[in-house]
Chain A
Amino acid sequence: MLTLTNVQIMYDRAIEAVRDVSLTVRPGQIVALLGSNGAGKSTILKSISNVLYPEEGEVLHGEIRIGEEDALALSADDIVRRGIVHVPEGRRLFPLMTVEENLRMGGYLHGRAAVAERLERVYALFPRLKERRAYVAGYLSGGEQQMAAVGRALIAGPKLLMLDEPSLGLAPQIIDTIFETIVSLNRDEGMAILLVEQNAALALKVADYGYVVENGRVVLDGPAERISQNEDVKEFYLGFTEGGARKSFRDIKHYKRRKRWLS
């Protein structure tokens, strides 16, 4: 339902953030996009939503297709209309609006009746939000904000939900809640999920397929089980060596670390 082919993204026509990235999300799949800080994961999501231009970013090469349609020719609101909804990194709620006003903003493109019905479903999914519905969003805790951000996206009725680091800065218990919700949305409603995460262990546990991004390039991709079996991923993302013992970074020769994906 979503394909990126050889996408190159530059900021300010000077800084290359993403090079030659190809990836596919099929209906009903959970796809994980892994990688460290600054690898270009968020930039990839923004290019799909077509919201790079406020930051002077631009897709210079390659193509992004939603189904058969050229997504680069669509405006940001058309992308949302096609059912691709993006939960940005760091929640980004509208801070001075109440929780309910935030949730309703998610339904901006939808009719009153559809929004009312989905609002009830979001409240059933996150009862905490119902308690907090009249609170100003800026004062919520991080976990509540993440729930509100996911809830807001769900009100847009996504076919493909893109989540940018939903676990960032949250307590483990909240992370569990969020991930359980993601899995159940995928399992029960067949919603496709594109998940950007730094927490590789967590993401690979729920994903069907994974991509590892480093320095703006996809260096590894495959079914999630195969990625979690990869020695390099084990060592650098999951933190284990062959025997399962922890290893000191002092023992790793620097050239080996630098060239780790070239083998």
Chain B
Amino acid sequence: MDLFLNLVASGLVIGSIYGLIAISFAIIFKTTGVLNFAQGEVMMLIAYLSWSLGTSLALPFVALIVASIVISVAVGVLVERIFIRPMIGQPVFALVMVTIGLAVTLRSLTVLIWGPDAEPYAASIAGGIVEIGPVVLFSEQVFALALFAVVMVLVFAFFRYTRIGNAMRATAMDETCALLMGVDVRRISSMAWAVSAVVSGLAGVSFAIMFSRAPDLWFQGLRSFPAAILGGLDSPIGSGFGGLIIGVIGDLSEGYIGQGLKEISGFVVIIIVLMLRPYGLFGEKELERV
């Protein structure tokens, strides 16, 4: 039983990282229809930048998080402006190819600048071990869980109650009609990239604190992909929950069935889910009035 609970807990921890990255996939896909294959790399870039800042300035933890958010916004806006904006009007497939190219470029660039070695993320959170009944967690892991909960609530509120969030939903549903409402669709796209970069950037920082900042950080982006599909690519909240599910299933299958299953269990799950619910667990079906 203890093993089970601990596996679930560690699954939830890694799942909240997957969930955050999946949310950032979903935000961009929902508003602009682009699947950003460079999401993991954008996340890695932000984590590295934030690491450099944290180690050179020795910022307190809260200041570091705020600085990471600022960096994320800048990275998101720049990526959109430089790589995505010029492609407007091209087929979506071409845009997706651009994100793949961007992914490879960022991966190499990171190694080029920071070198291939992993480094510990110096700015760990004070604390240590937190015990909840039989479950033992590090404070970094608790931080990841808390971060996930906070981001989920904020994302939900953002899309439901804010003017920009509603404009993003409207643009997703009917772009021309959003234009007719006076929505500046290009600005909305740039904001979607910024918001998405913030969410994935926080995930990257949190992951780097738990393990290390290493040039294979981008791989978490790929692992989170099943979470976004599972939850429904057009549903940020659903994608978040998808992350938790994939995380828990990954850890349980590794704990009970065997080493190596963690990597593939998520993809097995999405194959099954997509056969049963092609739009994901929480995705939006086309509304049809009868």
A-side residues, CB < 8 A to B, are 49, 51, 53-55, 75-77, 80-81, 85-86, 88, 92-97, 101, 104-106, 108-109, 136, 138-139, 152, 156
Within the complex, which residue of B89, B170, B180 is in contact with A80, where a contact is CB–CB below 8 Å?
B180
Q: Which residues of B contact A105 (CB under 8 A)?
A: 166-167, 170, 178, 181, 183
Complexed CA–CA distance, A17 and B112 (Å): 53
Task: Give complex CA distance A104, B183 in Å.
Answer: 12
A156 touching B182, Cβ below 8 Å: yes
Closest chain B residue to A45 by CB distance?
A: B180
B177 contacts partner chain A, Cβ-Cβ < 8 Å: yes
- Whole-angstrom distance between the Cβ of A132 and the nearest chain B Cβ: 14
Chain B residues lying within 8 Å of A77, measured Cβ to Cβ, are 179, 182-184
The docked-state distance in angstroms from the alpha carbon of A109 to that of B174 is: 18
Report whether A96 and B287 are in contact in the complex, using a CB–CB cutoff of 8 Å: yes
Contact yes or no, A108 B169, CB < 8 A: no
Render B172-212 as a binary contact track against A, CB cut-off 8 A, 1 for contact. 01111111111110000000000000000000000000000
Q: Please, which residues of chain A bring their CB within 8 A of the CB of B180?
A: 49, 51, 76, 80, 85-86, 88
Known: A80-B180, A105-B183, A156-B181. 18 other contacts (CB 8 A): A51-B176, A54-B175, A54-B176, A76-B179, A77-B179, A77-B184, A92-B174, A92-B176, A92-B177, A93-B177, A95-B173, A96-B173, A104-B166, A106-B181, A108-B163, A108-B167, A108-B183, A138-B287
Most buried by B among A96, A152, A156: A96
Complex: chain B residue closest to A110, CB-CB: B182
A104 surroundings in chain B (CB, below 8 A)? 166
Question: By the criterion CB–CB under 8 Å, are B173 and A80 in contact?
Answer: no
A95–B284 Cα distance when bound, in Å, is: 11
Question: Can you offer 18 A-B residue contacts whose CB atoms are under 8 A?
Answer: A51-B180, A76-B180, A77-B179, A77-B182, A80-B181, A88-B180, A92-B174, A92-B177, A93-B177, A94-B177, A95-B174, A95-B287, A96-B169, A97-B170, A97-B173, A105-B170, A139-B287, A152-B181
Neighbouring A residues of B163 by C-beta, 8 Å:
108
Given contacts A105-B167, A108-B163, contact A53 B177 (CB under 8 A): no
A54 to B289, CA, bound (A): 26
Q: Contact check, A96 vs B182: say whether CB atoms are below 8 A apart.
A: no
> Which chain B residues numbered 147 to 183 have a C-beta less than 8 Å away from chain A?
163, 166-167, 169-170, 173-183
Question: What is the bound-complex CA distance between A133 and B44, given in angstroms?
Answer: 44
Which residues on A sit within 8 Å (CB–CB) of B289? Answer: 138-139
Partner of B173, one of A53, A55, A81, A94: A94
Give min CB distance, B186 to chain A, whole Å. 9
Once the chains are docked, how many angstroms separate the CA of A86 from the CA of B178? 11
- Which residues between 34 and 55 of chain B lie within 8 Å of chain A, taking CB atoms? none
Q: Tell me the minimal C-beta distance from B282 to chain A in angstroms.
A: 13
Residues of B within 8 A of A138 (CB): 287, 289
- The 9 tightest CB contacts between A and B, nearest first, are A80-B182, A138-B287, A76-B179, A109-B182, A77-B182, A92-B177, A94-B173, A95-B287, A77-B184
B176:A81 contact, CB within 8 angstroms: no
- How far, in Å, is A142 (CB) from chain B's closest CB? 9
Q: Are A76 and B287 in contact (CB-based, < 8 A)?
A: no
Q: Quick check: A108 and B287 within 8 Å, CB to CB?
A: no
Bound-complex Cα distance A92 to B180 (A): 10
Chain A CB within 10 A, most for which of B174, B180, B183, B289:
B180
B131 to chain A, nearest CB (A): 44
| Docked complex Cα distance between A99 and B175 (Å) | 18
Q: State which of B166, B173, B179, B184 has its C-beta within 8 Å of the C-beta of A49.
A: B179
Give bound CA distance, A76 to B175, whole Å. Answer: 12
Q: Report A154 CB to chain B, min CB distance, Å.
A: 12
Please tell me which one of the listed residues A54, A95, A108 contacts residue B181 in the complex, with CB atoms under 8 A apart: A108
| A101 → B minimal CB distance (Å) | 6
Residues of chain A with a CB closer than 8 A to B182's CB: 76-77, 80-81, 108-109, 156
Shortest CB-to-CB span from B229 to chain A, Å, is: 20
What separation, in Å, do the CA atoms of A38 and B167 have in the docked complex?
A: 31
Q: How far is the CB of A121 from chain B (nearest CB, A)?
A: 18
The closest CB in chain B to the CB of A77 belongs to: B182
A87: nearest residue on chain B (CB-CB)? B180
> Chain A: which residue is nearest B182 at the CB level?
A80
Which listed residue (A75, A86, A94) contacts B170, Cβ 8 A?
A: A94
Residues in A whose Cβ lies below 8 Å from that of B175: 54
Of the candidates A80, A85, A86, A101, the one whose C-beta lies within 8 Å of that of B166 is A101
In the docked arrangement, what's the CA distance between A104 and B178, Å? 12
Chain B CB within 10 Å, residue with most, of A80, A81, A94, A101: A94
Most A CB within 10 A of own CB, among B166, B170, B182 = B182
CB distance from B157 to the nearest CB of A (A): 14
- A93 proximity list for chain B (CB < 8 A): 177
Known A139-B287, A139-B289; judge A88-B176 contact (CB<8 A).
Answer: yes
Once bound together, how far apart are the Cα atoms of A76 and B183, in whole Å?
A: 8
Closest chain B CB from A93 CB (angstroms): 8
The interface residues of chain A lying within 8 Å CB-to-CB of B170 are 94, 97, 105
Contacts of A156 in B (CB 8 A): 181-182
